[in-house]
Amino acid sequence: MTAVDGDRPAGRRRRVTSADVARAAGVSRATVSYVLNDVPNRNISQATRELVRSTAKRLGHMPYAPARALRSGRTNLVLALVPGFGIGFLFDKALDALNTALAARGYALLVHHHAEALRSITDLWGLVSPALVVTTGGLSADERAAVEYSEARLVDVDGIVSFPRIGRMQAEYLLSKGHRRLGFAMPGDPHLQVFADSRLSGVRQVCAEAGLPEPVVEVVDFERADVRPAVASWRDRPEPVTAVCAHNDDVALVLMAGLETMGLRAGVDLDVIGVDNVPIAAIGVTTVAIDIDALAGVVVDSVLAELDDRPAPDRDGEFLHLVVRRSA
């Protein structure tokens, strides 16, 4: 850790405004603005342009975002509201793709971990005022309303990949293998609950449609890898659970590792299926894979379309496929 303060004893550095540049260059503020923004159809001599630019650089002028935004009535900010950092492999990939695409169009992608309990949307808007908000379905009805009522556009990427659909695929595969009592492994992280519930609902549907009992839900805490209670709950019952849908591959891997320490084996004593097909899943996790690039592409297209006032692109791609390995 390096505290960097340079030589600012008490009063901090004064901002260098475009007026300072204008004064130093001996031109008007309007000229400075036109030059620095490359405004077309403004006949400004090359000499003046160079003078303004060099003066700005010499003085260390940086445009001041709030003033610019206030005057133009809009920001070039896209705010991604996430339910927590490190939400997952796919998510991070999509954010990276979005970041690059937006940078090329002069927008900045900002990621904020928003929680209603911590701060309201209204209060957040007093701190940052985005042109567009990207969410993952993690907003309450009130929050959605607040965003929609503000001048910000809203793109909800929830549903590009149907989470219930993923749960359905897991369950359908397990039933096709002859299982009749399913379990569901929830992650311990509360931020992931929303997603997990959504996947679980798909598993529930399939069980209900097949006339089977509800899936037995247990938490497999990612942090402390003690899965004994969960495994006991699944196996020590009159009609034992024989196969478990894990929220994702990470949960599946923790579960599988735990089974091994108990002298049990995934795919033999208990079938386990994950979601995501993360790289490490290659060690033997049967999983529902999601096509990252296609997914990221749709997210990017959706956001850009909304920014351009174009209709939202078709989102009915097929991003899911089953990868069968030894765990189920």
Partner DNA sequence: CTGTTAGCGCGTTCAC
Partner DNA sequence: GTGAACGCGCTAACAG
Residues 22-41 that bind DNA (CB under 7 A): 26-34, 36-37, 39
Q: Interface with DNA includes 73 (CB under 7 A)? A: yes
> Which of the ranges 91-99, 199-207, 208-216, 267-275 carries the binding residues for its own copies, by CB under 8 A?
91-99
| Tokens describing residue 318 | 């097929």
| Tokens describing residue 200 | 């679980």
Q: DSSP letter for 273, please.
A: E
Q: Interface with its own copies includes 250 (CB under 8 A)? A: yes
Q: Interface with DNA includes 44 (CB under 7 A)? A: yes
Token pair 């004593």: residue = 269
Site for DNA in 230-269 (CB under 7 A): none
In sequence order, which residues have a C-beta less than 8 Å from that of residue 165 and are 6 or more positions away? 202, 320
Binding residue (CB under 7 A) for DNA from 23, 53, 68, 315? 68
In the complex, minimum distance from the CB of residue 108 to DNA, in angstroms, rounded to a whole number:
15
Residue 268 binds which of its own copies, DNA, none (CB < 5-8 A, kind-dependent): none
Taking the least distance from each CB to DNA, the nearer of 52 and 251 is 52
Taking the least distance from each CB to its own copies, the nearer of 175 and 225 is 225
In the complex, minimum distance from the CB of residue 154 to DNA, in angstroms, rounded to a whole number:
20
* Cβ atoms of 79 and 130 closer than 8 Å: yes
What does the alpha-carbon distance between residue 38 and residue 9 come to, in Å, rounded to a whole number? 37
Site for DNA in 123-142 (CB under 7 A): 126
Binding residue (CB under 8 A) for its own copies from 53, 158, 172, 264? 158
Q: Residue 192 class from Cβ within 10 Å (0-12 exposed, 13-18 middle, 19+ buried)?
A: buried
What does the alpha-carbon distance between residue 85 and residue 6 come to, in Å, rounded to a whole number? 32
In the complex, minimum distance from the CB of residue 136 to its own copies, in angstroms, rounded to a whole number:
11
> Which of the ranges 90-98, 171-179, 209-217, 266-274 carries the binding residues for its own copies, by CB under 8 A?
90-98
Q: What dihedral do alpha carbons 202, 203, 204, 206 form, nearest 10°?
A: 90
Q: With CB under 8 A, what is the number of residues at the site for its own copies?
A: 90
Amino acid at 8: R
Binding residue (CB under 7 A) for DNA from 19, 208, 282, 324? 19
Q: Residue 174 class from Cβ within 10 Å (0-12 exposed, 13-18 middle, 19+ buried)?
A: buried
What does the alpha-carbon distance between residue 283 and residue 253 come to, in Å, rounded to a whole number? 9
> Which of the ranges 17-25, 80-88, 212-220, 291-299 carries the binding residues for DNA, by CB under 7 A?
17-25
In sequence order, which residues have a C-beta less than 8 Å from that of residue 175 and are 6 or more positions away? 182, 206, 210, 212
In the complex, minimum distance from the CB of residue 79 to DNA, in angstroms, rounded to a whole number:
18
What does the alpha-carbon distance between residue 52 and residue 15 come to, in Å, rounded to a whole number? 17
Q: Which residues bind DNA (CB under 7 A)?
A: 15, 17-19, 26-34, 36-37, 39, 42-45, 47-49, 61, 63-64, 67-68, 70-73, 126
